[in-house]
Amino acid sequence: MSILDYHYGDSYIHRMDPRVKMILLILLTIVVFMISNFYVLLAMFALVMLVWKTANLPLKNIIGYMKFLLSLVAFLIVLQGLFFSSGSNPIILVHPIIPESVPVIGGHGTVYLDGILFGLILGFRLLTLVCIMPIFVMTTTIGETALGLVKLGMNYKYAYMTTTALNLIPTLQDEARVVMDAQKMRGFQVFETGKFMEKMRAYSTLVVPLVVGAMRRAQLMGVAMEARAFGVKKTRTYRDELNMRKIDLAAGVLVAFICVGMVYFNGLLGGWY
Amino acid sequence: MANKIIEVKNLNYRYMDNGPLCVNNINLEVEEGDFIGIIGQNGAGKSTLMKALTGLLRPSEGQIFINGEDIADIPVSVISNTLGYVLQNPDRQLFAETVREELAFGPTNQGVSEEEIEKRTDYILESVGILHLADEYPPALSKGDRAKVVIGSVMAMEPKIIILDEPTGGQDYIGRYQIMDIAKKFREKGHTVVVVTHAMSLVAEYCNRIVVLCNGEILMQGTSREVFSQPEKLQQTFIRPPQITELANAMKEELHIEETLLCVEEMGDKVLEHIEA
């Protein structure tokens, strides 16, 4: 199961009104971008992990992505540490490794403390964002998402379009896997034994079958939906109705307060960058 | 005795750790030159078994030998030199701009010389009946032609064994027979063919051996006549023999039929015999 599939469960987060979840998703994303103090960001990450725990979502699903992201964080830290350019007076940890006398690259190799810290903030922000999105997707069915969007005022056709696009991601992932299997079965070795760059290049070969498949499916889906009167009326009825409970409102307000608090502390402690 | 080209020993497969066994203690031997039919209801484990044979799925327990070699640590792309696999949906198996390039995709990966690739593609285009489509864009072809292109593309790699996973699904009457004839011709060249299908009449007509799967296990195996002579046992997996076999069984006493009949020709002969008598 990927982090973009619905995870069956009966936790409070699963039962929460999708409208509240949607608003909190947007709010948390904005706040993560606003926070630039590492300790506050760490607190935000802890809050997100607490929600993961409350939702009983398997952490193993995200660990694979974490491993990749941690390597990206390390790369960002190194990159920013070596090539930090903003800030009026950055603290230098290591003076140029390459002597001035070396042509072209001489004088480079300065390691900036500010750059390392900036890389750390960027990386951690990315890590936190990647952990927020799956909470919504893994605890909210496509139907609930569509209904939530409609109840928030979106035209049901656009709501359906949005949720279909979300639904398509795991389908395309599956399809890409099948296409890769088919290529392996035709002796194409790159996906199994190729180097990183070779694999990256090989992914372009998946485009034709995936796009053709997606277009065929979209065409069929459109016809099937029209055949069942989709879009005939401006408004439509729903099998399930959403029920905004007091506890959902309270939870939403609580998380919103925490977010405001974090922004406040970020200002109080001072953003690193 | 013919060479054992596929040997499966105590194969178990589960999709999830501690999940149910989708393939349960399968022991299977396929001899070189066989035309095997794998039948069973949906979810019986047919495709799982086939994917295990190709290396796309690695056994939870047990061993698989292809051409005498344990495939446990062999990459799929290397296994494909010996065992070709045509997946169910042709659309996911077309990657090239033209049919000719599609046929050349496999041999190119195998490192076959340009001259040999030309020879092979010409032969496949001719024998599969898609010569007139050589320069067409594969995804734009009809479903029947797309299936032929995909089968031809795997055949162009000249594997010793070819597995066709429901090749006749969604095909019309002519298309089904054309595809099975292509497989038959390939077998006549000395290759081994394994077909997964729900078309009992085709299995009865083309396959020299049938393996019946039920809930991940082999329910029975034998020649078409042996398998279809046991309709009660087949009923366990909701499979019915070909209609002509059922007709012959229903008229057994009237026509004095003792053996299991598998095709219209056999039934016709019996009717004629009866009329003459």
CB nearest to A187's CB, from B54, B92, B110:
B110
Task: With respect to residue B111, please indicate whether it lies within any of the assigned structural domains.
Answer: yes
pLDDT of residue B218: 95
Return the pLDDT at A82.
78
From the list B58, B259, B101, B202, the residue with the least C-alpha distance to A208 is B101
CB contact under 8 A, A205 and B95: yes
The answer on B55 and B164 residing in a single domain is: yes
Interchain contact A34–B (C-beta under 8 A): no
Residue A119 lies in a domain: yes
Q: What is the pLDDT of residue A173?
A: 86
Nearest-CA distance A10 → chain B (Å): 21
User: Percentage of chain A surpassing pLDDT 70?
Assistant: 90
> In this complex, do A193 and B105 lie within 8 Å of one another by their Cβ atoms?
no
User: Which residues make Cβ contacts (< 8 Å) with residue A43, sequence separation at least 6?
Assistant: A262, A265
Q: pLDDT tier at A90 (50, 70, 90 boundaries)?
A: low
B167 with B150, same domain: the answer is: no
User: Does B160 score more than 80 pLDDT?
Assistant: yes
Distance from CA of B84 to the nearest CA of A (A): 6
Q: What is the pLDDT of residues B60-98, one digit of tens each?
A: 999 999 999 999 999 999 999 999 999 988 888 888 889
In this predicted structure, what is the pLDDT of residue B123?
Answer: 93
pLDDT digits (tens, 9 = 90+) for A103-133: 766 666 677 777 888 888 888 899 899 889 8
Q: What distance in Å separates residue A49's CA from the closest CA in chain B?
A: 26
- Set of chain B residues whose Cβ sits within 8 Å of the Cβ of A211: none
Q: Provide, as residue numbers in chain B, all residues whose Cβ is less than 8 Å from the Cβ of A198.
A: none
Residues B52 and B167 in one domain: yes
Same structural domain, B9 and B118: no
The number of residues in chain A equals 273
Has residue A145 been placed in a domain? no
Q: Helix crossing, A38-54 with A18-34: angle to 10°?
A: 160
Distance, in angstroms, between B147 CA and closest chain A CA? 13
Q: Judge whether B201 lies within some domain.
A: yes
Put simply, the answer to whether A209 touches B93 (Cβ < 8 Å) is yes
Q: Residue B169 maps to which CATH number?
A: 3.40.50.300
Evaluate if residue A102 carries a pLDDT over 80: no
Residue owning tokens 């390597």:
A71
pLDDT of residue B113: 94
Q: What is the pLDDT of residue A85?
A: 65
In a domain, A164, yes or no: yes
A79 interfaces chain B, CB cutoff of 8 Å: no
pLDDT band, very low/low/confident/very high, at A209 (cuts 50, 70, 90): confident
Candidate ranges A95-104, A106-115, B25-34; pick with highest mean pLDDT: B25-34
Are B8 and B27 a contacting pair, CB within 8 Å?
Answer: yes
Last residue of a domain, one of B196, B224, B252: B224
Residues 6 or more apart whose Cβ sits within 8 Å of residue A24: A252, A255, A256
- How close A216 comes to chain B (CA, Å)? 10
Mean pLDDT of A203-213: 84
Interface contact flag, A209 B153, Cβ < 8 Å: no
Q: What percent of chain B has pLDDT over 70?
A: 100
Check CB contact under 8 Å for A189 and B77: yes
Residue B29 counted as domain residue: yes
Q: By CB neighbour count within 10 A (0-12 exposed, 13-18 middle, 19+ buried), where does A179 fall? A: buried
Cβ-proximal residues to B262 (8 Å cutoff; 6+ apart), any chain? B204, B205, B224, B225, B228, B242, B244, B245
Pair (A123, A160) in one structural domain: no
Among candidates B142, B155, B187, which has minimal Cα distance to B36?
Answer: B187
- The number of distinct structural domains making up chain A is 2
With contact defined as beta carbons under 8 Å apart, do A94 and A167 qualify? no
User: Which is it for strands B83-86 and B4-13: parallel, antiparallel or unpaired?
Assistant: unpaired
Task: Check CB contact of A178 with chain B, cutoff 8 Å.
Answer: yes
pLDDT in tens, B253-274: 888 888 889 989 999 998 998 8
Q: Which of B214, B209, B185 is nearest to B195 (CA)?
A: B209
pLDDT over 80 (residue A236) = yes
Claim to verify: residue B44 and residue B17 sit in the same structural domain: yes
Enumerate the residues of chain B whose CB falls inside 8 A of the CB of residue A208: 94-95, 139
Residue carrying structure tokens 């109080």: A268
Residue in B87, B109, B110 closest to A182 by CB: B87
Q: What is the pLDDT of residue A113?
A: 78
Looking at B181, B201, B224, which one is the last position of a domain? B224
Q: For position A167, what pLDDT does the model report?
A: 78
Q: What residue numbers bound the domain in which B193 lies?
A: 1-82+159-224
- Domain end, chosen from B155, B190, B206, is at B155
Residue with tokens 């069915």: A141
In a domain, A148, yes or no: no
For chain B, which residues lie within 8 Å of any Cβ of chain A, measuring from their own Cβ?
Answer: 54, 56, 75-78, 80-81, 84-85, 87, 89, 91-95, 105-107, 109-110, 139, 153-154, 157
Q: Which residues of B touch A181 (CB under 8 A)?
A: 56, 76, 87
If asked whether residues A13 and A134 sit together in one domain, one would say yes
Confidence of residue A2 (pLDDT cuts 50, 70, 90): low
Give residue A259's pLDDT band: very low, low, confident or very high (50, 70, 90).
very high
Mean pLDDT value across residues B187-200: 94
- Compute the mean pLDDT over every residue in chain A, rounded to the nearest whole number: 85
Nearest CA in chain A to B80: A185
Question: Does position B1 have pLDDT exceeding 60, yes or no?
Answer: no
Report CB contact under 8 Å: B80, A212.
Answer: no
Residues B28 and B68 placed together within one structural domain of the fold: yes
Across the A/B interface, how many CB contacts are shorter than 8 Å? 74
Domain membership of residue A235 as a residue range: 153-242
Interchain proximity B87–A187, CB inside 8 Å = no
Residue B224 has pLDDT above 80, yes or no: yes
Residues A182, A259: one domain?
Answer: no
Distance to chain B for A210, nearest Cα, Å:
7
Residues B169, B32 share a domain: yes
Per the model's pLDDT, the better-predicted residue between A192 and A84 turns out to be A192
- CB contact under 8 Å between B94 and A184, yes or no, is no
How confident is the model over A156-198, as pLDDT tens digits?
Answer: 889 888 888 877 887 888 889 989 999 999 998 888 888 888 8
Distance from CA of A185 to the nearest CA of B (A): 5
Residues A123 and A247 in one domain: yes
Interacting residues of A19 by C-beta distance below 8 A, sequence separation 6+: A148, A151, A152, A242, A244
Quick one: pLDDT at residue B49?
95
Q: Who contacts B141 (Cβ-Cβ below 8 Å, separation ≥6)?
A: B99, B133, B149
Chain B, nearest residue to A182 by Cα? B93
Which residues of chain A neighbour B153 with C-beta distances below 8 Å? 186
C-beta separation of B68 from B38 below 8 A: no
Q: Angle at which helices B114-128 and B99-110 pack, to 10 degrees? A: 130
Judge if B3 and B51 occupy the same domain.
yes
Q: Cβ of A187 and B109 within 8 Å?
A: yes
Same domain, residue pair A5 and A119: yes
Q: How many domains does chain B have?
A: 2
Average pLDDT, chain B: 92
In whole angstroms, how far apart are CA B240 and each of A150, B45, B227, B235, B245? 49, 18, 11, 7, 9
